[in-house]
Amino acid sequence: MSTPAWISGDIPLDRPNAARMYDYFLGGHHNFEIDRTAANQASSMWPDMPLVMRVNRAFLRRAVDYISAQGIDQFLDIGSGIPTVGNVHETARRSNPAARVVYVDHEPVAVAHSTAILRDVPGTAIVQVDARQPEQILAHSEVSRLIDPDRPVGVLLVAVLHFVPDDDEARRIVATLRDALPSGSYLAISHGSFEGLPRATHDRVAGLYERTPTPFRGRARAEIERLFDGFDMVEPGVVNIPLWHPEGPDDLMLDRPAECAGFCGMGRKP
Ligand SMILES: C[S@@+](CC[C@H](N)C(=O)[O-])C[C@H]1O[C@@H](n2cnc3c(N)ncnc32)[C@H](O)[C@@H]1O
């Protein structure tokens, strides 16, 4: 498979990729045959999967709205993905046109497409850093340029920490960010879980992600709660994703929230 013209440089297309599968699930076009095949296999194992991706995306919008309503106008979106409808700067700028956003992803297609989209959008940037290197994120020149370290920040780890299989590493990422953030900053997390899914379905879907560069690790709700150590939880705490500040029919799966097999929550640094 050759690399398409809209990407500069070589993209490894020998394996499916979680960012591009997510793009496909959301109806995007920045994915390849190998990604679509894997995504279709995942959907055949778990037919709700495309819906669950939209459930997660709706949480991202509600989380940004909530954080913006607290007066926060600078965001760090880690594991930001391939830009699609409802990007963080678009959502944040509905209430504050001056909001600034640094997007972070390690996947070359996500970075290439974000670069193209954000080129003419002042106050935004995309940086290619691995979330497992939070020190590098915090020290990045684009972060220094766009984020004032003395004012609260909204940090988003939305649908990314389940791609960090090691528990200690996941906790260290959050702790490093927490320690660097000023008081009054907010952290939003959404995270896949095996709770709510038959274990066999979870294991088969997780088996598919073993073929990608980012194996999937569902976590129990209690483990996801522990990621918020050192934060004051925003009500209602860590809940199934549709149940976090639902607003209406766009927040899908409200009638069977546990079946989304994912939890989310938000914390405020005291
Ligand atoms: C499911 S998408 C979520 C995108 C967006 N946050 C959202 O919720 O709509 C997961 C993203 O995390 C990225 N990702 C996975 N592991 C990562 C890592 N170690 N460092 C940075 N990004 C990572 C993937 O490349 C992908 O773009």
Ligand 1 neighbours (beta carbon < 6 A): 18-19, 22, 56-57, 60, 79-81, 105-107, 110, 130-132, 158-160, 163, 214
Among 109, 132, 155, 160, name the best residue to mutate to test ligand 1's pocket (greatest count of ligand atoms within 8 A of Cβ): 160
Cα-to-centroid distance, 168 and ligand 1 (Å): 19
Cα-to-centroid distance, 78 and ligand 1 (Å): 7
pLDDT at 233 over 60: yes
Give the tens place of pLDDT for each residue, 96-152. 999 999 999 999 888 988 998 899 999 999 999 999 999 999 999 999 999 999 999
Cα-to-centroid distance, 193 and ligand 1 (Å): 16
Please write down the HEC assignment for all residues of the chain: CCCCCCCCCCCCCCCCCHHHHHHHHCCCCCCCHHHHHHHHHHHHHCCCHHHHHHHHHHHHHHHHHHHHHCCCCEEEEECCCCCCCCCHHHHHHHHCCCCEEEEEECCHHHHHHHHHHHCCCCCEEEEECCCCCHHHHHHCHHHHHHCCCCCCCEEEEECCHHHCCCHHHHHHHHHHHHHHCCCCCEEEEEEECCCCCCHHHHHHHHHHHCCCCCCCCCCCHHHHHHCCCCCEECCCCCEEHHHCCCCCCCCCCCCCHHHHCEEEEEEECC
Note the pLDDT of residue 1: 46
* Atom nearest to 131 CA in ligand 1: 20
pLDDT at 230 over 60: yes
pTM comes to 0.95
Give the tens place of pLDDT for each residue, 68-105. 999 999 999 999 998 888 899 999 999 999 999 999 99
Cα-to-centroid distance, 105 and ligand 1 (Å): 6
